[in-house]
Chains A and B, each alone.
Chain A
Amino acid sequence: MTMTRAEVQDAADKAFGQSELAPDAAQSWALIAEMGWLMMGVPEELGGLGLGREATGVIHQGVGKALVPGPVLAQMLTIEALAAADDLPERDALIADAMAGEVMTASLAGGLDGADRLTCVPDADTASHVLHVTDDRVALVPAEQVSVTYREGWDKSHRLFDVVLEGPGLTLARGDAARALADRIEALRLFCLAGDSLGGAEAALAMTVAYLETRQQFDRPLALFQALKHRVADMRTQLTAADALFWSRAQQADADIIALGALKALACAVYRLVAEEAIQLHGGIGLTMEHPCHLFLKRAMLNGALGGDADHWDERTGRAALEAAA
């Protein structure tokens, strides 16, 4: 690895750390492409930076922290699939376009039901291609072969579409290779959603603490009330533990889908807790549109639903733990 986690972190902080929350979509997309973030996971022989899961984790935490809009996660899933498609003659050109910022999108909801209808596909109206993953075939379907329907969500940082596939597109993988690739894409989706959630929770907690330190009630800052400090300490503790698990999984190249699903469920639970507490601790202002509290809550709720919810992953984790205990 040519860059350390700290270096990527530094770059991420410079890119989005100083800007306001939920920055402009077009500008952030250009910035993400310019910073080379879409090249991070791509092997060096394909023109990428060949950085591992840690760098990807830093980026998604950064994106979550600033509530960056747009299709960055969907784009990374597509790039991951393209990098694996070594039989595809036009692969190198497609990867180069994708890394340069041409939007290629994918479903964030996941699911391998083989249907020709995809849900939760970000920015499908401006995408040149849509990734289609099933258990026995992974394909990249060009815009001409899809029809898209906008579905307005509560979380405005994602523009989500239903996509109906009307052509076969380019085959990236089939059979066993497709199954393996589907697993890799699902693993990446879960890991990145966990990162986005932990980044968001970190920012929401920092915003809440800053508010408690300045807001006066009953002649003292709210931050002096032990009842509130203890709630902050509980959030800090749960967030630190989930973050430690995130970086530990980032270093385990062989962490399976269930381990990452458990991580994602835990990270989303922490995000939701912090986002809810943020609203409560901000009081009335936290309930308004003009204050950013609601942006965190809405993204936390969406992240919780994408890629399989907590019930789904808790159950699979429980089954796996039962098997391991046998």
Chain B
Amino acid sequence: MEGQALTDALDGLRQEVRQWLADNAPHGWRERSSSEAAFLQIQRDWFAKLVEGGYAVPHWPAQWPGGGRSLAEQKILYEELARADTPRLLLSFMSTYHAACTLFEWASEEQQALLIPRILAGEIWCQGFSEPNAGSDLANVRTRAERVGDHYVVNGQKLWSTMGQFADKCLLLVRTSNDGPKQAGLTYLLLDLKAPGVIARPIHQIHGDEEFAELFLDNVEIPVSDRLGEEGQGWAVAQSTLSSERGLTLLELSARLRGALWRLGELIRAQGRQDDQGIVRDFGRLSAKVDATCAVADQFLANRIAGIERVGDASIVKLSYSRTLRDFTSLGIRLGGIDAQYHSPITFGGGMETGNWMADFMNSYAWTIAGGSDEVQRNIIAERLVGMPREPKSWTLKEGAA
């Protein structure tokens, strides 16, 4: 399709989605979701409804129900979801992006046929990459997996697993060897969190919410058939997961950011500050930055589809988003005035849509730290995209340091 026909088709989709949302979008979910149980129920119900409507996984390949949407179609969908102020799918986000995208690339047909439909049925995944001593430095993973016959025996601890306390399955990066380069000793396993020996403990974040968990693994058995890629290939598989996080998920998030600008606009008007030149200018500058963030996410995906993605491109998208989100939520706090400084109950769940500006602002730090901190992204950009020299490897710890 070209030109007018394409524009008409996209306008048609927008109308269709808008109508569907008018009939199906949940109302009053912020008020209702102040308890953990209520939050989980609302998330599960809304995900099921979106699956039924065919709007839950537009980024999946066409062979799966709800998949095969073009980038332009996806953007429209995400903008309309934000405009209708629907809850973001925080609970199933890892399942439909990180897990599914990694499975599409690395899982056998049998594994896919078994696991993908369960995601659509509501199975929740989390990610077990980070560890107490391996945050952004994944090569340093120490959780150990020993092969015993047809299964692995896993021991160790994982940290910062988003939604880990509610998840059914986990994308697990483990060490199977200490020989050779650190990356070459990593293996990628699919962990059933109901397996004996797994304990998930929620972590209270700075705003009091519990979005992350730590996982303790004590002699947990994982069948060899639940491995992605070969033994020792874990680093490469993990790059797929991270690249989905740094690139693909940000198409949704940046389109949702644009779709949510009205919340700031409404606040400006509610505060009677539409004639405050400083506020109006900052709002204008933010809206241009949101547009640029959307444009760079679009360009990234177009390059990926065209097969000309470079290492580091995704880092630019993530850095743009994390900084724009910080500006977005900061303006919200500014407009909230003193009221934004008083503690109010947090709507369970993160992103920039909780309706609580201070919580959203604090949550924006998750984006500048998680999935490779902004500093790690800057190193990747400077070294891989700009071509600046890498840090020298040699160093010595100060005497007496651990």
Answer yes or no: B379 CB below 8 A from chain A CBs.
yes
Which residues of B lie under 8 Å from residue A321 when comparing CB positions?
Answer: 261, 265, 283-284, 287
Interface centre among A244, A259, A316, A317 (most CB of B within 10 A): A244
Q: Is the CB–CB distance between A224 and B391 below 8 Å?
A: yes
Answer yes or no: A280 CB below 8 A from chain B CBs.
no
Which residues of B lie under 8 Å from residue A237 when comparing CB positions?
Answer: 316, 319-320, 381
Decide yes or no: A314 and B262 within 8 Å by CB, A236-B381, A237-B316 being known contacts.
no
Task: Give the interface size class of chain A.
Answer: 35 or more
Q: Among the listed stretches A39-47, A77-85, A227-235, which one makes contact with chain B, having 4 or more residues with CB under 8 Å of it?
A: A227-235
Decide yes or no: A229 and B284 within 8 Å by CB, A224-B389, A237-B319, A244-B299 being known contacts.
no
Answer yes or no: A58 CB below 8 A from chain B CBs.
no
Q: How far is the CA of A275 from the CA of B319 in the complex (A)?
A: 21
Q: Among the listed stretches B38-46, B173-181, B201-209, B289-297, which one makes contact with chain A, having 4 or more residues with CB under 8 Å of it?
A: B289-297
A interface, over-half SS: helix
Answer yes or no: A240 CB below 8 A from chain B CBs.
yes
Q: How far is the CA of A232 from the CA of B383 in the complex (A)?
A: 10
Answer yes or no: B285 CB below 8 A from chain A CBs.
yes
Decide yes or no: A322 and B281 within 8 Å by CB, A232-B388, A234-B378, A236-B386 being known contacts.
no
Q: Is the CB–CB distance between B288 and A226 below 8 Å?
A: no
Q: Which of B309-356 contact A (CB under 8 A)?
A: 316, 319-320
Which residues of A lie under 8 Å from residue B370 when comparing CB positions?
Answer: none
Q: Among the listed stretches B96-104, B222-230, B266-274, which one makes contact with chain A, having 4 or more residues with CB under 8 Å of it?
A: B266-274
With CB as the reference atom, state the residue of chain A lying closest to B320: A241
Answer yes or no: A245 CB below 8 A from chain B CBs.
yes
B interface, over-half SS: helix
Q: Is the CB–CB distance between B261 and A213 below 8 Å?
A: no
Q: Is the CB–CB distance between B285 and A248 below 8 Å?
A: no
Which residue of B264, B279, B284, B378 contacts A233 across the interface (Cβ within 8 Å)?
Answer: B378
Q: Is the CB–CB distance between B269 and A322 below 8 Å?
A: yes
Answer yes or no: B36 CB below 8 A from chain A CBs.
no
A118 shortest CB reach to chain B, Å: 27
Q: How far is the CA of A304 from the CA of B198 in the complex (A)?
A: 59
Answer yes or no: A319 CB below 8 A from chain B CBs.
yes
Decide yes or no: A230 and B283 within 8 Å by CB, A237-B320, A322-B269 being known contacts.
no
Q: Among the listed stretches A23-31, A94-102, A134-142, A260-268, which one makes contact with chain B, having 4 or more residues with CB under 8 Å of it?
A: A260-268
Q: Is the CB–CB distance between A318 and B292 below 8 Å?
A: no
With CB as the reference atom, state the residue of chain A lying closest to B313: A240
Q: Is the CB–CB distance between A233 and B381 below 8 Å?
A: yes
B155 shortest CB reach to chain A, Å: 35
Q: Is the CB–CB distance between B281 and A318 below 8 Å?
A: yes
Decide yes or no: A230 and B382 within 8 Å by CB, A263-B288, A315-B280, A324-B265 being known contacts.
yes
Which residues of B lie under 8 Å from residue A265 when comparing CB positions?
Answer: 285, 288
Which residues of B lie under 8 Å from residue A325 when comparing CB positions?
Answer: 261-262, 264-266
Q: Is the CB–CB distance between A229 and B288 below 8 Å?
A: no
Q: Is the CB–CB distance between A311 and B281 below 8 Å?
A: yes
How many interface residues does B have (CB within 8 Å)? 43
Which residues of A lie under 8 Å from residue B392 when comparing CB positions?
Answer: 224
Answer yes or no: A221 CB below 8 A from chain B CBs.
yes
Answer yes or no: A296 CB below 8 A from chain B CBs.
no
Decide yes or no: A318 and B316 within 8 Å by CB, A236-B385, A242-B292 being known contacts.
no
Decide yes or no: A226 and B379 within 8 Å by CB, A209-B386, A213-B388 being known contacts.
yes
Answer yes or no: A1 CB below 8 A from chain B CBs.
no
Q: How far is the CA of A266 from the CA of B289 in the complex (A)?
A: 8
A202 shortest CB reach to chain B, Å: 12
Which residue of A233, A242, A314 contacts B281 across the interface (Cβ within 8 Å)?
Answer: A314
Which residues of A lie under 8 Å from residue B387 when comparing CB positions?
Answer: 209
Q: Is the CB–CB distance between B291 and A209 below 8 Å?
A: no
Which residues of B lie under 8 Å from residue A320 when comparing CB positions?
Answer: 284
Answer yes or no: B277 CB below 8 A from chain A CBs.
yes
With CB as the reference atom, state the residue of chain A lying closest to B299: A244
Q: Is the CB–CB distance between A322 and B274 below 8 Å?
A: yes
Q: How far is the CA of A223 from the CA of B382 in the complex (A)?
A: 9
B312 shortest CB reach to chain A, Å: 9
With CB as the reference atom, state the residue of chain B lying closest to A262: B288
Q: Is the CB–CB distance between B285 and A241 below 8 Å?
A: no
Which residue of A233, A241, A316 contacts B377 across the interface (Cβ within 8 Å)?
Answer: A233
Q: How far is the CA of A325 from the CA of B264 in the complex (A)?
A: 8
Encoded as 1 (CB less than 8 Å from any B CB) or 0, chain A from 45 to 60 comes to 0000000000000000
Q: How far is the CA of A266 from the CA of B281 in the complex (A)?
A: 12
A229 shortest CB reach to chain B, Å: 4
Q: Which of B351-389 contact A (CB under 8 A)?
A: 375, 377-379, 381-383, 385-389
Q: Is the CB–CB distance between A319 and B280 below 8 Å?
A: yes
B145 shortest CB reach to chain A, Å: 34
Q: How far is the CA of A42 from the CA of B37 in the complex (A)?
A: 64
Q: Is the CB–CB distance between B298 and A313 below 8 Å?
A: no
Q: How far is the CA of A317 from the CA of B381 in the complex (A)?
A: 30
Answer yes or no: A93 CB below 8 A from chain B CBs.
no
With CB as the reference atom, state the residue of chain B lying closest to A254: B7
Q: How far is the CA of A208 from the CA of B196 in the complex (A)?
A: 57
Answer yes or no: A154 CB below 8 A from chain B CBs.
no
**The 4 A-B residue pairs with the shortest CB-CB distance in the complex, in nearest-first order:** A325-B265, A318-B284, A317-B284, A233-B378
Extra contacts, 18 of them, besides A209-B387, A242-B292, A248-B298 (Cβ < 8 A), are: A213-B388, A229-B379, A229-B383, A233-B319, A233-B378, A233-B381, A234-B319, A237-B320, A241-B295, A245-B292, A265-B285, A310-B285, A316-B284, A317-B284, A317-B287, A320-B284, A325-B265, A325-B266
9 contacts between A and B (CB under 8 A): A226-B379, A233-B319, A236-B316, A236-B382, A259-B291, A313-B284, A318-B284, A320-B284, A322-B274
